[in-house]
Chains A and B, each alone.
Chain A
């Protein structure tokens, strides 16, 4: 910033100096009047006569004076005529050419590349920024796509879990019902078996009771009916049997 201000001040100073030097230039020494005066003075000094005397002599018919006056008038004309403005002044050609060449050199070598490089750097920056923005957009879209996919996955997963839960609940219900039925059947079966066993047992008990009663009765009958003789006969029969074997 400071450098730029300096450059601007330099330019301003240059402009001011141009103006300052230009101002006295308007008071040019080369006016038409001074040219005429100088010409007349030069003539009068050289010839020793005044312009008026020469005009009088020419009016009296002096051929030489007439010729002299013509020459003088031509010089006056030249005074009135400025140099052809289309012809370039030597000093301006030299300085103008130098100025342009130096400017061209400085521009080509330093100033122009500085600006051009800056512009290109900006263009490149904008291009890379846009590319980065595009890339960021692509990335964001990729991330979004990924999120959406994950969301869809999560939904599918949730649906699957719910489905599984429902299925397992169904399974558990079915299992419970089946087990309950099986247990009921088993209980029924076992009850039937127990009833049967009890029936068989009861029958056996009854039979054993009956036989016990019968045998008990038989014992009492036999015991009571076996007198000494019968006993002896039984002993004899035993001995007989042993012998007969």
Chain B
């Protein structure tokens, strides 16, 4: 994570806190990051230098209108407006982790084929805390390719309990 990314993350988080709804904004940013991660077209459009910046900011506005808060929308437009569209994913991820870190938590990205309810999320967080020894904030990512079960990433650690992994193991043993 470069210094530029961290600075942008810090300023985004500070702006969100100044608006008073930091957690909501961070949640919305995370969701946008998810979309950005899965949508290659969007990612390219936002970082395409041949498209005028105004058009790119307008695209962000159009995309988020009614989907996210104005603060979230403005922040993303701001990042795109200064020409950092290509680093948007990283900046969002840094912002999420910075927000968690401000509560002494680490972010646990949990990929699942289904949505997890609050209870499941809480128990999972508790289990992760027990397993890793760190307080974690669970961010669920819906990923049908997991097929079943969960894959948790905390920093560089990966705890894979997915059906996909089992199938991969099977494939390797077959070939």
Contact = CB atoms under 8 A, between A and B. Distances in A.
A215 B174 contact: yes
Contact of A245 (B124, B131, B148, B175): B131
A62 interface: no
B113 interface: yes
Interface range, B side: 20 to 34
A211 B170 CA distance: 9
Contacts of B116: 235
A241 B175 contact: no
A230 B148 contact: yes
A193 to B, nearest CB: 23
A242 B108 CA distance: 13
Nearest to A242: B127
B114 A237 contact: no
A171 interface: no
A108 interface: no
A16 interface: no
A207 interface: yes
Interface of A: 204, 207-208, 210-212, 214-215, 218-219, 222-223, 226, 228, 230-232, 234-235, 237-243, 245
Interface of B: 112-114, 116, 120, 123-124, 127-128, 130-131, 147-150, 159, 161, 163, 167, 170-171, 174-175
29 contacts: A208-B175, A211-B175, A214-B174, A215-B167, A218-B170, A222-B167, A226-B147, A226-B163, A228-B114, A232-B114, A232-B120, A234-B148, A234-B149, A234-B150, A234-B163, A235-B112, A235-B114, A235-B116, A235-B149, A235-B150, A238-B124, A238-B150, A239-B124, A240-B127, A241-B161, A242-B127, A242-B131, A242-B159, A245-B131
